[in-house]
Structure 1
Amino acid sequence: MNKLLMIFIAMSLGACATVGPSAYGPADKDGFGYEETRIESDRYRITYAGSGDMPPELVEDYALLRASELALANGYDWFRIVGRDVAGEQRGGVGVGAGFGTGSYGRRSSVGVGVGGDLGTIGGRNYFTVRMEVLLGRGAPPDDGQYYDAREIQGTIGARAGG
C-alpha cells in the first residue's frame, strides 16, 4: 500500500511540472506551429497547433499574428476573421482509480461491500488548435469595427512572440 501511495505522489508531482511556451513559427516535424492555405487572393485559412505547454489564448494570439504577417506581406492593412474554431484535446497521462472491498474465504462467508472511484488522469497535457479563415483588406477598415489592424497586431502580439 505504501509503495502505491509513493507512486501516486510521484506521478502527481510530475504532472505539476511545466515547461515554458513553445516559440512562434511554422509547423515543425511534429505539426506544432502555423500552416496556411491561400483560398483566394485576399482570403486565407490559417491553422495554429500549439504544443502541450501552450494555453489556448496564446495559440489564438499566434494565429492572429500569422494573419497579420500574411496581410502585410501581401500589401494589405487589416484583416477580418470570417470563421474561427478552437479545439482542444488531452494526450498522454495515466488514468488513476481506487477501489476497496471485502470478501469471504474458506468456510466462512460474509457480505461484500465495495467502494470505488475514478481519480482522473495524471500527467496528461492539453493541446489546442485554432483554425481561422481571414479576409484581408486595404485602406480604410470597415465601419463595423470587426477587423484587426495588421500593424498593431505586429506591435503587440509580435513583440511578445519575439518577432
Structure 2
Amino acid sequence: MKKLITFILMTLLVTACASKPEYRPASKGSVGYSEQKITEDRFRVQFKSVSNSVADAADYALLRAAELTQAQGYDWFVITSKETFVESEKVQPASSIDLSHQQRVERRCGLLTCETYRRPSSEVGVAFSGTNTHSRKEVHSILEIRLGKGVMSNESSYSAADVLENLSNKLVTNAN
C-alpha cells in the first residue's frame, strides 16, 4: 500500500512540474494571451492568468503587445486603454480514501472430505485532493494599443525592443 501511495504522489508531482507555463496562446477561454485587430494600427491585447498576481498578468500583456508590435512591422506602441479585473471563486475539491477488508472463503473438496480456507483480502481506492477550500483567481489584463514606426510619439510610448528585452526574462524565471 505504501508503494501505491508513493507512486501516486510521485506521479502527481512530476505532472505538476511538467505543466505548461501560462504564457502561451489562449484557446477556448483558457489562460494565455489573445489579440484582436481593431484597425490597421490598433489592437486589443488580452492576457488571462490563474494567479494572485495582477502584476504578472499586466507584464505578460505588455510582453505580448511588444511581440505583436514587432510582428506587424512596427517599432513602438502606445497604450490607449487599459483594464484589469480579477474574478475569484471558492473551490472545494472532493476527496476520498477507500479501504476495504474482506475474507475470501475457499472450499476445496476431495473424494472424501472438504476443507475450508479463509484468506484475508484488502482493496484500496484513493482519490487525492485536499479538504480545504481555496480561492481560484482569474486575472484579466486588457490593453488597447496603437502601433507606430520611427521616432516615438511621446513619453507614454513603449519601445517594443526594450519591452521584449526587459520582460522576456520573466518567462524563463516563471517556467522553472
Select the structure that is richer in strand.
2
Matched residue of 2:25: which SS?
A: coil
1:37 paired with 2:36, answer yes
Counterpart-to-counterpart distance in 2, 1:158 and 1:69: 10
Identity of aligned residues (%): 30
Counterpart-to-counterpart distance in 1, 2:52 and 2:63: 15
Partner of 1:71: 69
Deviation string, structure 1 residues 82-125 (Cα, Å, up to 9, x no partner): 0010010112235xxxxxxxxxxxxxxxxxxxxxxxxxx94112
Matched residue of 2:68: which SS?
A: helix
Matched residue of 2:38: which SS?
A: strand
Partner of 2:49: 50
Q: Which runs of 5+ in 1 are unaligned?
A: 1-18, 95-120
Q: Residue 36 of structure 1 contacts residue 47 of structure 1 at CA under 8 Å; is this kept in 2?
A: yes
Partner of 1:148: 158
1:126 paired with 2:124, answer no
Counterpart-to-counterpart distance in 1, 2:170 and 2:47: 17
Deviation string, structure 1 residues 20-71 (Cα, Å, up to 9, x no partner): 99431100455211111111111101111112x3511000111101110111
Give 1 or 2 for the bigger CA radius of gyration. 2
Counterpart-to-counterpart distance in 2, 1:145 and 1:54: 30
Counterpart-to-counterpart distance in 1, 2:52 and 2:160: 23
What is the CA distance between 1:153 and its match in structure 2? Answer: 0.8
Counterpart-to-counterpart distance in 1, 2:160 and 2:145: 12
Please provide the CA RMSD for this pair.
2.4
Partner of 1:81: 79
Aligned length: 117
Counterpart-to-counterpart distance in 2, 1:77 and 1:45: 17
Q: Given the two structures, how large is their TM-score scaled by the length of structure 2?
A: 0.60
What is the CA distance between 1:75 and its match in structure 2? Answer: 1.1
Q: Residue 86 of structure 2 contacts residue 137 of structure 2 at CA under 8 Å; is this kept in 1?
A: yes
Task: Please identify runs of 4+ aligned residues in structure 1 that moved more than 2 A.
Answer: 19-23
Q: Given the two structures, how large is their TM-score scaled by the length of structure 1?
A: 0.65
Q: Which runs of 5+ in 2 are unaligned?
A: 1-16, 93-131
